[in-house]
Amino acid sequence: MDHTVCVWNVWSRNQKKACVLNFHNAAVKDVKWSQQGHFLLSCGYDCMSRLIDVEKGLETQVFREDQIVGVIKFHPDNSNIFLSGGSKGHIKLWDVRTGKVVHNYNRNLGPILDVEFTLNGKQFISSSDVSQSNVSENAIIVWDVSREVPLSNQVYAEAYTCPCVRLHPFDSIFVAQSNGNYVAIFTTDPPYRLNKYKRYEGHVISGFPIKCNFSLDGKKLASGSSDGSIYLYDYQSSKVVKKIKAHDQACIDVAFHPIIPNVLASCSWDGSILVFE
């Protein structure tokens, strides 16, 4: 909210903030590391995505839009291209090398809440806010990246908004956090069916933009909850393995360490970040 992007040194006892990047002039909505970890991509309420060289602490490129940019995602195989989604429901594929939009994906959607590439990078999944409309079939759409067309928009027929979409690291499934207080499971193969017999439930959303994430080995799914807890689910059985009371206010995101298997971080509506081993 203070317009900054903070890079934290997790293991340091005293110098916790490795650097603070002051390039946005409004609240920051999303930040992603490039694959090699040399760059950060951030976006926010100033209607821009910004590419930052972390080593030099310099902004190298600015990508301007006519909407608040709420979510960004690098392509899984190519850090030169990324997706952005925003408040007007527009999704764009950008090329960092030219600084230009390669593809536009427009379907008169509500604000885009999340985007996620499939494993091969040829499709992506978008989640948009359907609370203002009755068109719940547009909540989750699977798109063909190169052809700019929806492959399916009849994926999720329930009248709930999904603040988060996550791909399983190996299996042909993706999950969507639903405001109906559960995580729904879908196949990443056509016709992208909802699994009606299994879902992850126990945590509470209460209208917060609560996210979830798979562990590196894909055996666990972690979700935040409005009661401030982290819920760890067994991927196969969908049962709660562990509940960790982490925060006083809503726990809005949980992420596993990208290399160390037993470390996870959580953040809260109150602005605090915790790291657990």
Does residue 90 share a domain with residue 123?
Answer: no
| Positive or negative: CA dihedral 73, 75, 80, 84 | negative
Whether 98 maps to a domain, the answer reads yes
Q: What share of the chain is helix, strand, coil (3-state, %, to 5)?
A: 0, 50, 50
What CATH number corresponds to the domain at position 224? 2.40.10
Q: What token pair was written down for 99?
A: 């600084």
Residue in the block written with tokens 């890079």: 7
Alpha-carbon gap, residue 123 to 105, rounded angstroms:
12
- Examine the fold and report which residue of 71, 104, 137 is the final residue of a domain before the chain moves on: 104
Does residue 115 share a domain with residue 99?
Answer: no
| pLDDT number for residue 15 | 78
Range of the domain at 2: 1-104
Whether 76 maps to a domain, the answer reads yes
Whether 228 maps to a domain, the answer reads yes
| pLDDT number for residue 115 | 98
| pTM (two decimals) | 0.95
* Residues in the chain, pLDDT under 50: none
Q: Residue 164 is inside which H or E element, if any?
A: strand 164-167
Whether 128 maps to a domain, the answer reads yes
| pLDDT number for residue 135 | 63
| pLDDT number for residue 121 | 95
| pLDDT number for residue 237 | 98
Does residue 112 share a domain with residue 100?
Answer: no
| pLDDT number for residue 158 | 87
Does residue 41 share a domain with residue 11?
Answer: yes
Whether 195 maps to a domain, the answer reads yes
Whether 93 maps to a domain, the answer reads yes
- Examine the fold and report which residue of 78, 104, 130 is the final residue of a domain before the chain moves on: 104
Alpha-carbon gap, residue 185 to 199, rounded angstroms:
6
Does residue 11 share a domain with residue 73?
Answer: yes
The number of domains in the chain is 3
- Examine the fold and report which residue of 88, 104, 120 is the final residue of a domain before the chain moves on: 104
Tens-digit pLDDT profile for residues 206-248? 999 999 999 999 999 999 999 999 999 999 999 999 999 999 9
Tens-digit pLDDT profile for residues 89-104? 999 999 999 999 999 9
Does residue 37 share a domain with residue 114?
Answer: no
